[in-house]
Structure 1
Amino acid sequence: MATENPTLPAPEELAGTPAQEDANPMTDTTPAAGEATQGGDAAPRARRARIRPEAEMVAGSEEFSDVEEEAAAMPSVDFSDEEAALAAQGAGLEIEDETAEEAAAEALSAPAVGEERFAGKSKEELLAIFAALLAERPVQSIRREVEALKIAFYRIRRAEVEAARRTFLGQGGDESAFTPAVDGAEVRLKELFRDYRTRRDEFIASLEAEKEANLRTKLAIIEELRELVGSDETLNHTFTRFRELQQRWKETGPVPQPQVKDLWETYNLHVENFYGFIKINKELRDLDLKKNYELKLSLCEQAEALVADEQAVESFRKLQKLHDEWREAGPVANEYKEALWERFKAASARINRRHQEHFEALKAEQTKNLALKTELCAAAEELTAQPLTTRREWNRASDRLLEIQKTWKSIGFAPKKDNNRIYERFRTACDRFFEAKRRFYAGLKSEMEHNLALKIELCEAAEALAGSEEWKKTTDELIALQARWKQVGLVSRRHSDAVWKRFRAACDRFFERKSAHFSSVDDEHGRNLALKRALLDEMAAAVDRVRAEGYDVIRDFQRRWGEIGFVPIKQKEAIQKRYKAVADALFDALRGSERDRSMNRFRERVSALKGAGERRVRSERERLGSKVRQLEQEIALLENNIGFFAKSKNAEALVADVRAKIDRARDEMRSLVEKVRLLDSEEK
C-alpha cells in the first residue's frame, strides 16, 4: 500500500568520510556527500535530531485509519424495516391478504398505525399492546396494527441478534457456529400471533358461513316472491307480505361474491313480475315507482359526484356501496328505467376506468421499479465480484455500494410477487460484499500484528546500539534499521505511536551522544574557514607567479589547502565552489604560459629550418598537416564511438573518458594548426 513517507537518505550517502558520520538519517536535513574530493574538507556537523513521528510520515494517507474501525464499518442506509419484515416472514408470522370486511372495519375504527405509533417502544411494551388489541378490539379491525407491530418488534430483535453476533465474533468465535439465544419475548409474540391468526381464521370462516346462510335466506325470499304471483289472498294482504319480503331482503347480509349478480337479477325479475301480476292501484304503484325513481336518481348524482373525487381507490369503494343500494332499490317506470341505468352505468364506467388506470399505472410504476432494482442488484453483484486488494479500493467500493443502497431506498415497491425476491437478491449481494470486506480486514489485521512483531525487533536492535561509541559503524547500522523500518508495513493505530516512540528514542539516544562527541570541533572548524578564505585570497593574487614559476606554485597551494582541516558544514559547499573556481583560473593561466613557451620554441626551430633550406620547411609543414588530418580522423572515430557506448552498461563513465580524449585531441590539433599558419606566414 502506497504511503507518503519522506525519503530517508540511502546508506551509501552517509559512508566514506568522518563528516558524514554525524548525519542522523531521520532528521529533516542531511549533510551533502562528496565534499572531500579536494582536500578532504568534510566537517562532522552534529545536530539535534528532529524526528518525524510515524503518523506524520504517512500524513494525508487514508490507509492509516484503524483496521478494526474500517472492518466494522457498515452501510448507513436504513434497511431495518425490510430486514424486520423478512425476519418476521422467516419466523412464520405472515398474514394473508386483507379482506373487504377488514378494510371496512379498519377504516371505521382503527387509529393511525405505523412506525410513529410504535417508535421507542420496548419489546415488552409491544407485547402488551398486542395483547390489549386482542382483548379489546374486533379481530377484523386490527390487521394493519398487527403488521406494523411485528415489524417494530423484529427491528429490535434483529439489532439484538446482530450485537450478539459481533460479540461472538469479537471473542474469536466462528461465524458459522453462531446461534442466537432463545428470546422469551419472541416466543410470547409467536403465541399472541397464533392466537390472532386463529381468531382471524375463525372470523373469516364464520363470515363465509354467514354469507352462505344469507344466500340460502335470499333464495328462500325469491321463492316466496315467486309464490306471491297468482296468490288468492286479498290485495292488501299480498302487498303487505311483499313489503315484508323486501324488508327481509334488505336486512339480510352479503352473500358470496360469485352469486351476487345472478341473485340480484333473479330477485329483480320476480319483483317486476309481482308488480305486473297484482295490478295494484295505479296511484299506489305510481307512488312506489316515483319513490324508487327518486332514490335511483340520487344514486346517479352520488355516482357522478364520485367522478370528481381524485381518490380513485376510495371512490371505487364508495361506488360498490352505491351499486348495492341500486340493487336493493325497486323498479321505476319503464320510460325512465333505461335512461337512469345508462346514466348510473356511465358514471360507474368512468370511476371503474379511473380505478383500473390507477392500478395499471401503479403496476407500471412497480414494473419500472423492478427493472431499476434489478440494475442495482447487478451493480452490487459486480462490486462483489471485483478483485479488491487494497484498503483504498475497498473504501471506494464501500462508498459506491452505499450510493447504490441510497438509490435503492429512494425507489418504490416492486410488484408484490417480486418484491421479496428482488430484495433478497440485493441483500445477498450486499452481504457477500461486506463479508468479503470483513475477511480482507481480518487478514490485514493479522498482517499488522506480524508487522508489530517485526518493529518490536527493530526497537530492540536500535536499543542495543544506543550506547555504542563506534560512530561510523553504528550510524550505518542504524541507517539500515531505519530502512528496514520503512519497508515493514503499517501496524494498528493503538500500537503505532508507542512502538514508533520507542524506536525513535533509541535512535535519539545514540545521535545525542554522537552530537556531544563532535560538538568540540566546531570552534576549530571556524578557524579553518578563516584560514581557507585567506588562502583563497592569496591564490587569486598569484596568477603572475604561476605564469612565471609554473605548476609548482599550484601544487604548493593544493598542499596547504589539504593541510587545513574541516570547515562548518553550512559553509562547506560555498568554500569548495570558490576554491575550484580559483584553482581553475590558476590552471588556465598555467596552460596559457605553457602554450606561449611552446610557440616561442617552435619559432626558434622554424628559423633553424629556414637556414637549412626551403625543402626542410616544406617537409615540416607536411608532417604537421599529416598530424592534423590524423587527429581529425581520431576525433571523428571517438565521436562515432560515443553513440555505441551510450547503449552499454556503465555508459556514463565511458562517455566521459572518450569526451576527455576528444578535448585533448582538439587542443593538440589547434596547436598544430597554429604552427602550420606560422610556417605559411614565414614562406611569404
Structure 2
Amino acid sequence: MSSDPWGRVDETGTVYVRTADGEKEVGSWQAGSPQEALAYFERKYEGLVVEISLLERRVKTTDLAPKEALTAIEHLRTTVSEAHAVGDLQALAKRLDELTELVDSRREERKAAKAKQSEEARGAKEQLVVEAEQLAESEQWRSAGERLRALVDTWKGLPRLDRKSDDELWHRFSHARSVFSKRRKAHFASLDAQREEARRTKEKLVAEAQSLSDSTDWGPTAARYRELMADWKAAGRAQREAEEDLWNRFRGAQDVFFAARSEVFAERDTEQRENLERKEELVAEAEKLLPVGDLKAARAQFRSINERWEAVGHVPRDARPRIEARMHAVERALQDSEEAEWRRTNPEVRARAEGLTGQLQAAVDKLRDQIEAARAAGNTAKADKLQSELDGRQALLDAALKGMGEFR
C-alpha cells in the first residue's frame, strides 16, 4: 500500500483522496505501482488548479460578465466536487468560494456604477429636455435649430434609461423640437408672404421710378424720388433673388434722372458763375457813381447799368444776397441824393423854413431886450429865467439857419 498527505492506494489498487469529510474513492489503478497511481491522479488535480487559476485571471483582469463568471465557477465547483483527483480539493473549493465573493462584489459594484450612470444619464437627459423646451420658444431660428440638432446628437450618445423613463423624457424632448419646427415653419411662411408683398410693392415703385426717369421737371421729380426711396425702405425686403434685381432697376431709373439733372445743373451753374462775374463788373461800375456829384448824370448812368444788370440773368443762389445788396446800396444812395435835392429846391419847403426862421429870430431878439430890461431893473432871477428860455430858442434858430443853408 502507498500513500501521501492527500491520498492513498490500498492493496487492491483502489485510489482514495483525503477530504475534511473523510476519504473518498476516486478510482482504481492496476497498470503500475501505487506511486504511479497517485502521480496520475495528482496530475488531474493540477489540471483543476490550472482551470481555476485561468478563471481567476479572467475575472480579475477582464470585463467578464458576472453571470458568465458565476456559471463558470459553478461548473468548476461541480467538477471539483466530482473530481477523480488527488490533492487539496477543499483548498480548490475555498478558492472558488472566494472567487464567487469577488464576482458578487464586482456585480454589486457594477450595479452601483450602472445605477450611478443611469442617474447621471437621467440628469443629463432631463437637462437636454429643459434646454430643448426653452429653445422651442426661441426666435433665433438658425442658432436654436443648430443647437437642437446638437442636443439630438448628445442624446444619442447617452445610455438608455428604463423604458418608461426614457420614453417619457424622449416624448418631451421630441415635442419641444416639434414645437420649434412648427413655429419656425410658420415664421418663414409669414416671412415669405411679407417678402412677396414687398416684391409686389417694389415692382410698382420700380415702374413709377422708370416712368419718371426722363422727366425734366427737376424739383418736383427729385422730391418724388425721395418719397419713393422712403416707400422703398418702408416696404421691407423681397426674396433674395428678386431684391437685387428690383434694386438695380429702381436705382438705375434714378441714376438716369439725376445724371440728366446734374448735366443740366452743371451747365446752369457755369452760366450762373459767368453771370455773377458780369454782375460784379456792373456793380463795381455802379459803385463808382458814389459819392454823387452830378445827380442827373449819375441817375442816367445808373439806369443804363441797371438795364444791363436785368439782362444778365440769374447768379448762384449763395452769391445772390451779397451782390444784390451792393447794387441796392448804390440805388439807395441815389434816392437819398434825389430827396436832398428835392428838399433844397422845393419853394414851399423853403418858404416854410424862412417863415420859421423869421419867427425864431424875432423871439430871440425880443428875449434879449427883456433880459436887458430885467437886469437894468435889478431883477436877476427874472433875467436868469429869460436867459434859459433864450438859450433854447437860440438852439432852434441855429438849427433852422443850418437847414436854410441847404436851399442855397
TM-score range (shorter-chain normalised) is 0.5 to 0.7
Aligned to 2:251: 504
Give the deviation of 1:378 after TM superposition: 1.1
Q: Distance in 2 between matches of 1:404 and 1:280?
A: 72
Structure 1 gaps, min length 5: 1-234, 240-271, 546-555, 587-608, 614-684
Are positions 1:493 and 2:240 aligned together? yes
1:451 aligns with 2:201: no
Question: For the residues of structure 2 that align with 1:536 and 1:397, how far apart are their CA atoms?
Answer: 75
- Name the structure 1 match of 2:51: 299
Q: Distance in 2 between matches of 1:537 and 1:576?
A: 15
- Where does residue 77 of structure 2 map in the other structure? 326
Q: Give the distance between the partners of 1:333 and 1:536, measured in 2 at CA.
A: 143
Q: Any idea what the Cα deviations from partners look like across 1:217-259, whole Å, max 9, x if unmatched?
A: xxxxxxxxxxxxxxxxxx99xx9xxxxxxxxxxxxxxxxxxxx
Could you tell me how far apart the structure 2 residues matched to 1:405 and 1:533 are? 83
CA distance 1:566–1:314, shift in 2 (3 Å) = farther
Measured in 2, the distance between the counterparts of 1:287 and 1:488 equals 105
Alpha-carbon distance in structure 1 between the residues aligned to 2:75 and 2:245: 84
**1:455 and 1:488 in contact (8 A); partners too:** yes
Q: How does 1:552-571 map to 2 (within 5 A)?
A: 565-567=314-316
1:413 matches 2:159: yes
The answer for the alignment partner of 2:91 in structure 1 is 339
Per-residue CA deviations over 1:48-74 (Å, capped at 9, x if unaligned) read xxxxxxxxxxxxxxxxxxxxxxxxxxx
Report the AA paired with residue 314 of structure 2. Answer: G
1:148-167 equivalent positions in 2, closer than 5 A: none
* 1: CA distance, partners of 2:283 / 2:136: 73
- Cα RMSD (Å) of the superposition? 4.7
Quick one: which amino acid aligns to residue 369 of structure 1? A
Note the residue ranges of structure 2 that are not aligned, 5 or more in a row.
1-11, 15-20, 292-301, 330-384, 390-408
Q: CA deviation at 1:342?
A: 1.7
Equivalent residues in 2 for 1:187-336 (5 A)? 290=42, 293-309=45-61, 311-313=62-64, 317=68, 320-329=71-80, 330=82, 336=88
Contact between 1:289 and 1:331, CA under 8 Å: does it hold in 2? no
Q: CA deviation at 1:336?
A: 3.5
Residues 335 and 321 from structure 1, CA distance in 2 versus in 1: closer, same or farther, beyond 3 angstroms?
Answer: closer
Alignment of 1:397-476 (within 5 A): 397-405=144-152, 407-408=154-155, 411-417=157-163, 418-476=165-223
Length, aligned pairs only? 290
Asked if 1:349 corresponds to 2:101, the answer is yes
For residue 133 of structure 2, the aligned residue among 381, 391, 407 is 381
1:466/1:509 contact within 8 Å kept: yes
Map Cα deviations across residues 643-676 of structure 1 (whole Å, 9 max, x no partner): xxxxxxxxxxxxxxxxxxxxxxxxxxxxxxxxxx
**Inter-partner Cα distance in structure 2 for 1:478 and 1:526:** 28
Deviations 1:241-299 (A, max 9, x none): xxxxxxxxxxxxxxxxxxxxxxxxxxxxxxx99957x9989x69977874664344333
Q: For the structure 1 residues 352 and 534, does the alpha-carbon distance in structure 2 shift closer, same or farther, using more than 3 Å as the test?
A: farther
Q: Contact 2:73 / 2:100 at 8 angstroms: preserved in 1? A: no
Q: What letter is aligned with 1:336?
A: D
Give distance in 2, aligned partners of 1:536 and 1:365.
Answer: 101
Judged with a 3 Å threshold, the aligned counterparts in structure 2 of structure 1 residues 449 and 279 are, in CA distance, closer, same or farther, namely closer
SS at match of 2:238: coil
Change (3 A) 1:536 1:404: farther
Q: Is the 8 A contact 2:38 2:86 kept in 1?
A: no
Deviation at 1:349, TM superposition (A): 2.1
Query: What SS does the aligned partner of 1:484 have?
Result: helix
Q: Which moved more, 1:286-295 or 1:436-445?
A: 286-295
What are the Cα deviations for residues 614-640 of structure 1, in whole angstroms up to 9, with x where unaligned?
xxxxxxxxxxxxxxxxxxxxxxxxxxx
Q: In the aligned structure 2, how far is the partner of 1:379 from the partner of 1:576? A: 71
The Cα offsets for residues 20-73 of structure 1, whole Å up to 9 and x where unpaired, read as: xxxxxxxxxxxxxxxxxxxxxxxxxxxxxxxxxxxxxxxxxxxxxxxxxxxxxx
> 1:434, CA displacement in angstroms?
1.8
**Is residue 2:114 matched to residue 1:365?**
no
Whether contact under 8 Å (1:299, 1:326) holds in the other structure is no
What is the Cα deviation at residue 450 of structure 1? Answer: 1.1
Question: In 2, distance between residues paired with 1:478 and 1:446?
Answer: 27
For residues 328-363 of structure 1, the C-alpha deviation after alignment (integer angstroms, 9 at most, x for no partner) is 342589993443322222133223422442343233
**Residue of structure 2 equivalent to 1:514:** 261
The superposition leaves residues 467-500 of structure 1 with CA deviations (integer Å, 9 ceiling, x where unpaired) of 3333222222222222111110110011112222
Is the alpha carbon distance of 1:335 and 1:503 closer, same or farther for their aligned partners in structure 2, counting shifts above 3 Å? closer
User: Which structure would you say has the larger RCO, counting Cα contacts within 8 Å and 6 or more residues apart?
Assistant: 1
**Displacement of 1:459 after TM fit?**
1.8
**Change in CA separation of 1:374 and 1:537 when aligned onto 2, cut-off 3 Å:** farther
Alpha-carbon separation, structure 2, partners of 1:300 and 1:413: 35
Quick one: structure 1 residues 422 and 275, their matched pair in 2 at CA, closer, same or farther if it must change by over 3 Å?
same
Q: Give 2:9's aligned residue.
A: none
| Aligned ranges 1:601-612 → 2 under 5 Å | 612=388
Percent of pairs with identical residues: 21
Q: Are 2:73 and 2:96, in contact at CA under 8 Å, matched by a contact in 1? A: no
* Aligned-partner Cα distance in 2 for 1:429–1:508: 51
3-state SS, counterpart of residue 312 of structure 1: coil
Secondary structure (helix, strand or coil) at the match of 1:313 reads: coil
In the aligned structure 1, how far is the partner of 2:27 from the partner of 2:237?
106
Partner of 2:270: 523
Distance 1:444 1:473 in 2: 35
In 1, distance between residues paired with 2:106 and 2:282? 109
Q: How much has 1:449 moved relative to structure 2?
A: 0.8
User: 2:68 is aligned with what amino acid?
Assistant: R
Confirm or deny: 8 A CA contact 2:272 2:314 kept in the other structure.
yes
Q: Residue 628 of structure 1 corresponds to which residue in structure 2?
A: none
Report the CA distance between 1:319 and its aligned residue.
Answer: 5.6
Rg larger in structure? 2
Offset at residue 370 of structure 1 (A): 1.8
Shift, 1:446, TM fit: 1.1
Task: From the superposition, tell whether residues 495 and 301 of structure 1 become closer, same or farther in structure 2 (CA, over 3 Å).
Answer: same
Rounded Cα–Cα distance in structure 2 between residues aligned with 1:442 and 1:465? 35
In 2, distance between residues paired with 1:469 and 1:448?
Answer: 34
Q: Partners of 1:444 and 1:492 in 2: how far apart?
A: 9
